[in-house]
Amino acid sequence: MSEPTATTRAVQQLWLAVADGDERGAAAAVHAALARGVSEESILLEVIAPVQEKVGTEWAADRLSVAQEHAATAINERVIATLTHHPGSSRPAADRGRVTVSCVDGEWHALPARLVAEVLTLRGWRVDYLGAQTPTPHLVAHLHLTNPDAVLLSGSITTHLPAAHAAVTASQAIGVPVLVGGRAFGPAGRYAKALGADRWAADARAAADVLETGIPRPDAPAVRHAVDDLPHLADQEYTMVVQSRPRLVKRTLADLEHRFPAMSGYSIAQRDRTAEDIAHIIDFLTTALYVADPEILTAFTTWTADILTARGVPVRSLLAGLDTLADQLHDFPRTQKLLERAATAVTEHTVRPVPDTRPSV
């Protein structure tokens, strides 16, 4: 067997450390990689990023608790900070221009945006990093104050697309071009174009390349409404389902007790988690309505089927929830089609065990 590279060794060591909650060990792993000649950019994108992805995979497989996942993420964030202030760090002058990097409103997964901000800093950009879930009015106020060359918006959860759309149009309305990235924008950034973003980038290096090429400022900034980009919103189904969300959660939870008798034995905590799951389904349903793409809901429901199976919950409970939502929303044709497709996808879905990413001992 060939000797592992310095990067591979760092990934293994960092993963063991964050999984154990060992911040000192995590910092030691990345600093050792630096000493072996691994660049800061490679540490960020080829060590920390894949380890963070493993954290999410292990949580999905129920091999890490929510608390462990949060602790691991916090350690990775602090390790990034140690790179910034490492004695051997040599960062270029920020002479390429100024950009703002921010998560969209409601997005708490800030690590991808942080990685982008750090890479751009290493590439010579002056970066205003605003962190997680920046409300759009506050983002716009910052853009007025700084007049950056571009704003980079990060989103990991698809349900934040409506908020991302608002941020895109508000930024462009004051003449600031928008580059978006993150899993929320779909495979190959399919939703970036639908929402009118100026550019999309698959990762931090691609974002740096886009900025290097330059993004023209909007010629004639003007206020756009959501329906201007997404004409199907004129049917008001999205708005009405969003407004009905609290009632839908309450009614679906009550109906599930009849459709899924096992719920009668649920504890208060289990019922609370079920209500959260129902709310998530509705959020993905409304987002699918917003961008008119059933894949948003079907991808979420099949993923949920895998998660429920990993936690020992029968998938038929998910199908029962989709059925009761369909009964309540029978007057909305687009919504009905989305729920029907989601139920079919779950029924036909072969549950895949979440892969074990833990290193062998």
Residue 89's SS3 state is: coil
Statement: residue 42 has pLDDT above 90: yes
Q: What average pLDDT score do residues 196-220 get?
A: 93
Query: What confidence score (pLDDT) does residue 352 get?
Result: 59
Statement: residue 1 has pLDDT above 50: no
Give the model confidence (pLDDT) of 275-306 as tens digits: 999 999 999 999 999 999 999 999 999 999 98
Statement: residue 96 has pLDDT above 60: yes
- Distance CA(37)–CA(32), nearest Å, equals 9
- Distance CA(149)–CA(86), nearest Å, equals 29
Give the model confidence (pLDDT) of 100-156 as tens digits: 999 999 999 999 999 999 999 999 999 999 999 999 999 999 999 999 999 999 999
Query: What confidence score (pLDDT) does residue 257 get?
Result: 85
What is the pLDDT confidence band of residue 202, given thresholds at 50, 70 and 90? very high
What is the pLDDT confidence band of residue 361, given thresholds at 50, 70 and 90? very low
Query: What confidence score (pLDDT) does residue 313 get?
Result: 84
Residue 101's SS3 state is: strand
DSSP 47: I
Name the pTM for this structure.
0.88
- What is the overall mean pLDDT for the chain? 90
Alpha helices in the chain (DSSP H): 6-19, 23-35, 40-42, 49-60, 66-84, 111-122, 136-146, 161-173, 190-194, 204-213, 226-229, 237-243, 245-259, 268-291, 295-310, 316-328, 333-348
Query: What confidence score (pLDDT) does residue 214 get?
Result: 94
Lowest mean pLDDT of 96-110, 216-230, 248-262, name the range: 216-230
Give the model confidence (pLDDT) of 50-71 as tens digits: 999 999 889 878 888 899 999 9
Contact in structure between 21 and 96 (CB atoms under 8 Å): no
Closest CA to 156 of 207, 112, 101: 112
Quote the crossing angle between the two packed helices 161-173 and 136-146, to the nearest 10°: 30
- Distance CA(79)–CA(254), nearest Å, equals 46
Contact in structure between 34 and 46 (CB atoms under 8 Å): no
- Burial annotation 236-245 (CB, 10 A radius, 16+ → b, else e): ebbeebbebe
Residue 349's SS3 state is: coil
